[in-house]
A and B are shown apart, each in its own frame.
Chain A
Amino acid sequence: MGKTVLMQGNEACVEGAIAAGMRFYAGYPITPSTEIAEGCAARLPQVGGHFIQMEDELGSMAAVIGASAAGVKSMTATSGPGFSLMQENIGYACLAEIPCVIVDVQRSGPSTGLATAPSQGDYQQARWGTHGDHPMIAISPASVAETYRLSIRCFNLSEKYRTPVIFLMDEIVGHMREGIEIPEPDSYPVWNRRVAGNDGAYKFVYRVPEGQWVPGLKPFGAGERYNMTGLVHDYSGFPTNSNEVAQQEITRLMEKVLKNKDDIVQIQEYAMDDAEYAVVAYGGTTRAAMEAVRSAREAGIRAGLWRPVTVWPYPDERLQERLPQLKGILMVEHNYGQMLREVQRAAAGSVPIDFIGRINGTVIPPEEILKKLREVSRHAK
Chain B
Amino acid sequence: MPSELIRQYMRIDHLPHIWCAGCGNGVLTRDVAVAIDELCHDPEHPIAREKVVIVSGIGCSSRAAGYLDFNSIHTTHGRAIAFATGIKLANPGLTVIVVTGDGDCSAIGGNHLIHAARRNVDMTVVVYNNNIYGMTGGQYSPTTPRGDLATTAPYGVIDRPFDIAGLAAGAGASLTARGDTYHVRETIDLIKKGIRHKGFSLIDCYSVCPTYYGRKNRKGDAVEMLTRQKENGVRPEAYSALSEEDRVGKYVIGTLTHSNYPEFTAEYQKMIDKAMAGRAEA
Q: Which residues in A have some Cβ–Cβ distance to B below 8 Å?
A: 23-24, 26, 45-50, 52, 54-56, 58-60, 62-72, 74, 88-89, 92, 202, 219-231, 238-239
Q: Are A221 and B91 in contact (CB under 8 A)?
A: yes
Q: Are A24 and B86 in contact (CB under 8 A)?
A: yes
Q: Beyond the given A74-B90, A229-B73, please list 14 additional residue pairs across the A-B interface where CB-CB is below 8 A.
A: A55-B114, A62-B76, A62-B82, A63-B86, A66-B55, A69-B73, A69-B86, A70-B91, A202-B11, A220-B53, A220-B91, A225-B69, A225-B72, A229-B74
Contact of A227 among B72, B268, B276 (CB under 8 A): B72
Q: Are A92 and B75 in contact (CB under 8 A)?
A: yes
Complex: how many Å from CA A229 to CA B86?
16
- Residue B19, interface by CB 8 Å: no
Contact flag A226-B71 (CB < 8 Å), given A55-B111, A66-B83, A66-B87? yes
Q: Which residue of A lies closest to B94 (CB)?
A: A221
- Please, what's the 1-or-0 string for B78-99, where 1 marks a CB less than 8 Å from any CB in chain A? 1100111111011101100000
Query: Which chain A positions have C-beta within 8 A of B112?
Result: 55, 58-59, 62
Query: How many positions in chain B have a CB within 8 Å of any CB in the partner chain?
Result: 42
Q: Which of B33-83 contact A (CB under 8 A)?
A: 49-51, 53, 55, 65-66, 69-76, 78-79, 82-83
15 A-B residue pairs with CB within 8 Å: A23-B90, A58-B112, A62-B83, A62-B85, A63-B82, A63-B89, A70-B94, A71-B91, A72-B90, A223-B50, A224-B50, A224-B71, A226-B71, A228-B72, A228-B73
Complex: how many Å from CA A74 to CA B1?
44
Q: Which residue of B lies closest to A203 (CB)?
A: B13
Contact flag A220-B71 (CB < 8 Å), given A46-B278, A70-B91, A88-B76? yes
Q: Are B85 and A59 in contact (CB under 8 A)?
A: yes
- Residue B115, interface by CB 8 Å: yes
Complex: how many Å from CA A65 to CA B80?
11
Query: Which chain A positions have C-beta within 8 A of B53?
Result: 70, 220-221
Q: Are B89 and A227 in contact (CB under 8 A)?
A: no
Shortest beta-carbon distance, A136 to chain B, in Å? 18
Shortest beta-carbon distance, B281 to chain A, in Å? 12
Query: Which chain B positions have C-beta within 8 A of A46?
Result: 275-276, 278-279
Contact flag A70-B66 (CB < 8 Å), given A45-B276, A48-B276, A89-B76? no
Contact of B94 among A23, A54, A220 (CB under 8 A): A220
Q: Are B51 and A45 in contact (CB under 8 A)?
A: no
Contact flag A59-B276 (CB < 8 Å), given A50-B89, A67-B89, A229-B73? no
Q: Are B276 and A74 in contact (CB under 8 A)?
A: no
Query: Which chain B positions have C-beta within 8 A of A225?
Result: 49-50, 69-72
Contact of B86 among A56, A64, A238, A239 (CB under 8 A): A64
Q: Are B65 and A59 in contact (CB under 8 A)?
A: no
Q: Which residue of A lies closest to B55 (CB)?
A: A66
* Residue from the set A60, A222, A226, A229 with the largest chain B CB neighbour count within 10 Å: A229
Q: Which residue of B lies closest to A222 (CB)?
A: B50
Q: Which residue of A lies closest to B119 (CB)?
A: A52
Query: Which chain A positions have C-beta within 8 A of B274?
Result: 45
- Residue B158, interface by CB 8 Å: no
Complex: how many Å from CA A66 to CA B79?
10
- Residue B20, interface by CB 8 Å: no
Contact of A65 among B86, B91, B271 (CB under 8 A): B86
Complex: how many Å from CA A225 to CA B85?
19
Shortest beta-carbon distance, B263 to chain A, in Å? 14
* Residue from the set B51, B72, B74, B86 with the largest chain A CB neighbour count within 10 Å: B86
Query: Which chain B positions have C-beta within 8 A of A202?
Result: 11, 69
Contact flag A63-B111 (CB < 8 Å), given A92-B76, A230-B76, A238-B66? no
Q: Are B85 and A63 in contact (CB under 8 A)?
A: yes
Complex: how many Å from CA A63 to CA B272?
19
Query: Which chain A positions have C-beta within 8 A of B14?
Result: 238
Contact of B111 among A50, A56, A239 (CB under 8 A): A56
Query: Which chain B positions have C-beta within 8 A of A89?
Result: 76, 79
Query: Which chain A positions have C-beta within 8 A of B114?
Result: 55
* Residue from the set B50, B91, B114 with the largest chain A CB neighbour count within 10 Å: B91
Shortest beta-carbon distance, A307 to chain B, in Å? 35
Shortest beta-carbon distance, A170 to chain B, in Å? 27
Shortest beta-carbon distance, B75 to chain A, in Å? 7
Q: Are B86 and A66 in contact (CB under 8 A)?
A: yes
Contact flag A221-B86 (CB < 8 Å), given A48-B272, A48-B276? no
Contact of B89 among A24, A230, A231, A239 (CB under 8 A): A24
Q: Are A239 and B76 in contact (CB under 8 A)?
A: no
Query: Which chain A positions have C-beta within 8 A of B49?
Result: 225
Q: Are A55 and B115 in contact (CB under 8 A)?
A: yes
* Residue from the set A26, A88, A220 with the largest chain B CB neighbour count within 10 Å: A220
Complex: how many Å from CA A58 to CA B82?
8
- Please, what's the 1-or-0 string for B261-282, where 1 marks a CB less than 8 Å from any CB in chain A? 0000000100110111011000
Contact flag A227-B76 (CB < 8 Å), given A65-B86, A70-B91, A74-B86? no
